[in-house]
Amino acid sequence: MAGAAQTLLASLDSTQRAKATRVFDNDDERTDWHYIPRDRIGLPIKEMDGSQRALAHELVASGLSSRAHDRARKIMGLEKVLAQIEGDGRRFDRDEELYYLSIFGDPCDEEKVWFWRFEGHHISLNNTIVAGRLVSATPVFLGANPAQVRHGEMEGLRALKEEEEMARALLADLDGEQRAQAIIADEAPADILTGHAAYVRDQVLAAGLASGDMSAGQREMLKELAAVYVGRLPDAVAERQMEKLAGGPLDSAHFAWAGAQERGKGHYYRVQGSSFLAEYDNTQNDANHIHAVWRDLENDFGEDLLRRHYRTDHR
């Protein structure tokens, strides 16, 4: 990540660099993430030349698995579909180049802390690095509108297919009593309940069906569902994360579903353990619009490890 960030920064002129960089201690900006079209800090892909765009995607790729990077590119491509559906007249254009990179702190200084974000409509990647080590890759948000493209040259594309299918498979495998526990509401919320909160506090509580009340096969399905979200992270990071989750947090996790069970109707779910949250919602645009986020309840934006770092080290 540091090498990719340094190479990108070296390619920028002074105007571009001023847009792309911030001081690390600007916590209000650093934790101000969102997944809707809005004014953003950072340098947009649109204002880069071809070689700079390639370098930007090298940095983005360093924060994702290859599969997730491919998904991110598809999500960006959905902006063209939305532009065709919605036409002109929006405050924020549907534009696959309106994705922004911002770098907080100095990636050249391996003894200090730095952070980078890549963000635009339906993508928000947030990576915190302390003393040359990635300590937080969350929140990591991916969305898809349309969730399934129904017309045009991209017809049939489902950028976040696994997020829906794995949850449906688990729900379908539950018996009547288990399903009654898992379904927490007949109507799905209009969006993920945690929204764009910097840190998840008490916006949601563990609810639904406990892992301990599932069969061994269902617990494996729950693990596979969590792995869909963890699998967004770079492979080595994801592997360590799954090992950590399998060591306890998944054993006490809950699976909660809200809304319709039928396809094509609004639905919501979350998988929540003591240290993590996967939250998904598909209700907007006639239930063809997905929001799905992976959160570290203890260490989003490196909160916990930064606190320890500041207690023991000097910047």
Q: Give Cα 295 to chain centroid, integer Å.
A: 8
Question: Could you give the CA distance from residue 206 to residue 257 in angstroms, rounded to a whole number?
Answer: 12
Closest CA to 221 of 253, 191, 248, 264: 253
pLDDT of 315 higher than 50: no
Q: What would the two tokens of residue 271 be?
A: 């998988």
Residues 14-26: pLDDT tens digits?
999 999 999 999 9
Mean pLDDT over each residue of the chain, to the nearest integer:
95
pLDDT classification of 110: cutoffs 50, 70, 90: confident
Distances (CA, A) of 77 to 94, 178, 201, 262: 10, 39, 33, 28
pLDDT of 313 higher than 60: no
- Cα torsion 81, 157, 61, 285: sign: positive
Residues 44-81: pLDDT tens digits?
999 999 999 999 999 999 999 999 999 999 999 999 99
The pLDDT assigned to 185 comes to 98
Burial 126-140 (b: 16+ CB within 10 A, else e): bbbbbeeebbbbbbb
Residues 153-185: pLDDT tens digits?
999 999 999 999 999 999 999 999 999 999 999
Count H helices and E strands in the chain, helices first: 11, 13
176 burial level (CB within 10 Å; 0-12, 13-18, 19+): exposed
Give 227's contacts (C-beta < 8 A, 6+ positions apart).
238, 242
pLDDT of 142 higher than 60: yes
- pTM of the full structure: 0.95
| Residues comprising the chain, all counted | 315
